[in-house]
């Protein structure tokens, strides 16, 4: 999968996940949602947890193990299955 070209703040650098859409206030990650034309906001209890999640999932190939990734990806698999 290609890297995302969404570089708007310091946290966007090095993003690998194709469903990543950006961040808000250093504690929220925005991702493509499981329904067409939706965005999911994933909030964290602090900046440390936020940065850890970015480093573990959003900036690596391990993004495929993220539940948000799996939900968003399922809609494409469904479309492919039904030929939409």
Residue 47 counted as domain residue: yes
Residue 45 counted as domain residue: yes
Residue 69 counted as domain residue: yes
Query: Is a pLDDT exceeding 80 seen at residue 9?
Result: no
Residue 5 counted as domain residue: no
Residue 55 counted as domain residue: yes
Residue 29 counted as domain residue: yes
Query: Is a pLDDT exceeding 70 seen at residue 23?
Result: yes
Quick one: pLDDT at residue 10?
78
Task: Give the residue, 11 or 41, on which the prediction is more confident.
Answer: 41
Q: Report the number of distinct structural domains present in the chain.
A: 1
Query: Is a pLDDT exceeding 60 seen at residue 37?
Result: yes
Task: Give the residue, 79 or 70, on which the prediction is more confident.
Answer: 70
Q: Look up the domain containing 48 and give its range.
A: 10-82
Neighbours of 40 (CB within 10 A): 16
Measured distance CA(14)–CA(37) in Å, rounded:
24
Residue 23 counted as domain residue: yes
This prediction has a pTM of: 0.81
């Amino acid at each position: 999968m290609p890297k995302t070209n969404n570089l708007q703040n310091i946290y966007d650098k090095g993003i690998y996940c194709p469903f990543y859409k950006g961040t808000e206030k250093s504690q929220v990650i925005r991702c493509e949602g499981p329904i067409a034309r939706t965005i999911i906001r994933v909030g964290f209890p602090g900046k440390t947890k936020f940065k850890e999640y970015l480093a573990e999932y959003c900036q690596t190939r391990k993004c495929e193990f993220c539940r948000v990734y799996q939900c968003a990806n399922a809609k494409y698999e469904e479309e492919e299955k039904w030929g939409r």
